[in-house]
Structure 1
């Protein structure tokens, strides 16, 4: 009995010594996790599965029957004021909607050259009153203001936008930078006002590695360029804060090739010219909420050799999953692929990495084939309402690129330039479905 106890004591002692040694080794030589590329590619195989059906196709909209938000201005890309957590904000009972605008006598094809952000406010989310320009004239950093987002916190508005071109440039350029300013919010019986803006600042610019610079785009024989649409996002799981945006993969065209991992399977290849298509969705961290400390991260997703323009990217979290949405055009697909003007989506269990296309292909909402350009710039709200603007309607077989060659009367007759009907969708895991239409610009 005594001998057995002694043996057991020695074994325990040896086991404890081994555990201590193991622990000591692990402290000085920590196990390294495998480092992998977390950027996901939307593959040609996935995109080839795009198919319109009743679950993803909008009903026909007669653009001529839509009510103008204002008779004085065209409006297009729009976004609501949210709180820091991404919920629709209410300021003393008001909801706020921001939109890109241009005077209503400007031809539709010229609106992007003079775009200004204006805002509307509403108590019921249906009837909107024009508040005016968001920023005082001359304060913003670009020659025009392109889309962004806006967050409300503790009486302040944090306004993010795309500074396109430079103030005072003699010839319009398409340089794009992420910009912001912080202002005070005042609300009373007369509406909402944004005042006392800080000096505008550039948050970050493309690094040329993960995100193509304007110089690289020009060097490659400029065919398209994107570094825009900053969208605020706070991760509810970690409370870390980010800005999601649209970009193109780094490098000039001469440096790019179509690799097998972009195809999805050996049966899929890429025709010549596909290397020009390099859209991506970027993300940067606002470290500890400090806007002077922005950490650029690798893209969440790329569409190399698939698509050249993944616009208005944004994320909502539902059922503990991350849903990444983006918009693209018919003419932005690489050779050999086809897809409609539409809203596309991807789902992952984590913010970084793992994204897979919703519905197999990524398509969530498409315009109907008989009216392929009727709406665009879809934005999914946390309530799963989707807002967009009315684009061009009833063009018949005409390609949208031909519209600018038509008479001014034709262009104005077929142009929407106002909010489209709001759409509600449902999400069940990796499947989505259009549920119903609501009034124009309706935010519940």
Structure 2
């Protein structure tokens, strides 16, 4: 294996971009703001009353991260023998150490009646536990008619703090006029657990100096199949030693993304804020990519590439990557939170004015492999519009292509944070979907065209503007339920919900099978399919070992610095001007909203430090000193 450390990397989400995303939330520009939904129309999902994967008993479950079974090439929601299929994370609210597993939901194709969705049950049966859990992913239809599922396998045993790995399994379904059931789950195995060079491993994370403040991510695999049949996974990760987190990243000019005045002002702002400086030194989020082999039902990793997008110094978490091909362009979307970034002042502003800090970001490229350019200059596509504890708060945005409309995507999400954040009895549920217009100049516009809750296929019958609301207290179609306006946000609860509520477990292994091994489900339960025992997990394709130069040696993997077919990405510097439209829309200032504590993010030892701009800094600092007013204020 040959490494060329001079090879160009992917795009960057810079400190300037983070500011643009946070300011888009503050300004509530309708071009980006998530539509207001009619709170009184929102219902709990009937299909979420089902057999729980951990207790084996009927229970009302929260439903959050969800994804459709999609056509392998077009990305459209698959018409699978007359049905549309969706896989969702679900669990009983307020369960100690979490209840996070994946379920198969289905409805007649094109049916947009929320009450018609049915639950085929937990994919891995009802002997699940809270030590080994399944998180978000994607799914497509194989050539033989089976469903190839990609998801996150999470391990919290032996005091582990969310050891996440990319996994896959093949679903065999029985389908008839009475519905869909799971016949068997085959070929379960781990695909990827980091390589150490391009992407941080769990061992690297645990060996960091400040583990308690670190955020480890290796999850949310999204499958993309090209017309020639090649399959790739795009996923959330943290960067490895190729470009690692460190205090030295603060001295890397490229991480700032602005002009000299902005960069220097931001640099000293970080130096004079201990908390933000630590967050900046730890932030190393990435949207990664790897190539799979051509065995659709027994997949292995063939090649691993540099990240498509990295967020060094700016953010430690960019979730649920989602690639949509429209025409000849590839659009890469991701959900994120400003609170996962390194600008606490910006996050506090979002919380004070709007009451939430969530957003969807997006990038565009002529090729799957890059180079990617941020949409709307900063990358912002959606901005939170209501407080996090309102019934109509949304997150986990997922874009689906709209058949017949190559310039639009349907945005799906879930509504209400988990664990009754918006009030007892208000379960997390699917939100109404809405349309985002993709403009020729690489900008986007939110269209106020809402659907019923849980509509994944946009057609002539989808639009239901009765689901739209207004930001007005007491209005018939208000976006707030009675009593929500001005209600303080319990950020400890919100942050706990957003991190899935998991804690390290005692080092006691369950007696029911191997780690990450789905257990034999109980049969005969209501709404519970009869599922065969999944295959024994294969050994992962290889674990990283490091020589004295920290070069990974991984059997079975071929690493390429220069991102190959279809093209080589280049290092993108985002110098665009953020949108400063004067059409700011309505602003919510809930005086009672409490300023949150930022979620803890990460730090590890740096393998390399970039000091590229110190000389420039010293040369121009004197001339800019008076302009920036640094003598008079040490911390903006």
Which range, TM-score by smaller chain? 0.7 to 0.9
Cα distance change, pair 139–197 in 1 and its aligned pair in 2 (3 A): farther
C-alpha displacement at 1:129, in angstroms?
Answer: 1.2
Match of 1:263 in 2: 256
Instruction: Give the alignment of 1:124-135 within 5 angstroms.
Output: 124-126=110-112, 127-135=116-124
Residue 441 (1) aligns with residue 454 (2): yes
Residues 99, 129 of structure 2: 8 Å contact kept: no
Cα shift readout 1:36-94 (whole Å, capped 9, x = no counterpart): 41411112223323323011112333556411113421100000011221221112210
Paired residue for 1:432?
Answer: 444
- TM-score normalised per structure 2: 0.57
- Matched length: 391
Distance 2:179 2:129 in 1: 23
CA distance in 2, matches of 1:45, 1:431: 18
* Structure-2 separation of matches of 1:255 and 1:218: 18
Give the deviation of 1:255 after TM superposition.
7.0
Question: Does the CA contact (< 8 Å) of 2:99 and 2:130 recur in 1?
Answer: no
User: Does the C-alpha gap of structure 1 residues 242 and 295 become closer, same or farther in structure 2, counting only changes over 3 Å?
Assistant: same
Aligned to 1:95: 84
Aligned partners of 1:344 and 1:363 also within 8 Å: yes
Number of the residue aligned with 2:397: 378
Matching of residues 226-375 of structure 1 within 5 Å:
226-236=217-227, 239-251=229-241, 253-254=245-246, 257-258=249-250, 259-265=252-258, 266=260, 267-268=262-263, 269-270=266-267, 271=270, 272-273=277-278, 274-289=280-295, 291-335=299-343, 337-338=346-347, 340-370=357-387, 374-375=393-394
* Partner Cα separation in structure 2 for residue 372 and residue 424 of structure 1: 24
RMSD: 2.8
Q: Judging changes above 3 Å, is the alpha-carbon distance between structure 1 residues 229 and 324 closer, same or farther for their aligned structure 2 residues?
A: same
Q: Deviations over 1:342-394 (max 9, x none)?
A: 111011122223211111111111221455871000000011111100124xx
| TM-score, structure 1 as length reference | 0.81
183, 192, 214: which is aligned to 1:195? Answer: 183
Q: Distance in 1 between matches of 2:303 and 2:39?
A: 43
CA drift of 1:294 comes to 3.0
Q: Greater RCO between the two (CA within 8 Å, min separation 6)?
A: 2
Q: How far apart are the structure 2 equivalents of 1:175 and 1:250?
A: 16
Alignment partner of 1:219 out of 199, 202, 207: 207
Structure 1 window deviating more from structure 2 (336-345 vs 326-335): it is 336-345
| Candidates 373, 382, 389, aligned match of 2:414 | 389
1:66 maps onto 2:42 in alignment: yes
Q: 2:220, 2:387 → 1: CA distance?
A: 29
Per the alignment, do residues 228 and 349 of structure 1 end up closer, same or farther by CA in structure 2, a change over 3 Å counting?
same
SS of the residue corresponding to residue 54 of structure 1 reads coil
Please list the CA deviations of residues 254-297 of structure 1 after superposition, one character each: whole Å capped at 9, or x if unmatched: 57523111111323234122121111000110133461243211
| Secondary structure of the structure 2 residue equivalent to 1:90 | coil
Q: Distance in 2 between matches of 1:125 and 1:247?
A: 36
Q: Which runs of no fewer than 5 residues in structure 1 stay unpaired?
A: 1-33, 393-402
The CA deviation at 1:172 is 5.8
Determine the C-alpha separation between the residues in 2 that align with 1:391 and 1:256: 39
Shift of 1:416: 4.4
Alpha carbons 1:64, 1:416 under 8 Å: kept: no
Q: Over alpha carbons, which structure has the higher Rg? A: 1
Query: How is 1:100-119 mapped onto 2 (pairs within 5 angstroms)?
Result: 100-103=89-92, 106-107=93-94, 110=95, 113-119=98-104
Higher strand share: 1
